[in-house]
Amino acid sequence: MPKIIEVGYLLTLEENYKHPSAFYIRNCLGNFIYFQTKCRATAQGWCNELYGVGFYKVNSGKTGKSSGTESAVGRLNTKSRMNSKGVR
């Protein structure tokens, strides 16, 4: 069984908050439930066992605020728009 951690939503808004796992769900109360496992399929299996099949889909990836930098695509689009001439 993977380690399961429940964290309140307000705690995740703190600047120095570190997410304990890459696999999580956000329940109906807004709290994050983290599954510490190496495989998303394993996390989904435990989620289905705890909450029932089809109620929650396990998300993968870190959540929260961005680091304050734009993606490469955002920078390219912004730069190309600044240097382009208007359509006449």
Distance CA 37, CA 75 (A): 35
* Strand, coil or helix: 22: coil
Q: What is the pLDDT of residues 11-47, one digit of tens each?
A: 989 999 998 999 999 999 999 999 999 999 999 999 9
Q: What is the pLDDT of residues 1-11, one digit of tens each?
A: 779 999 999 99
- At residue 78, does pLDDT exceed 80? no
76 φ, ψ (degrees, to nearest 5): -65, -45
Among 70, 54, 7, CA closest to 34: 7
What pLDDT score was predicted for residue 61?
Answer: 82
Judge whether residue 72 has pLDDT over 80: no
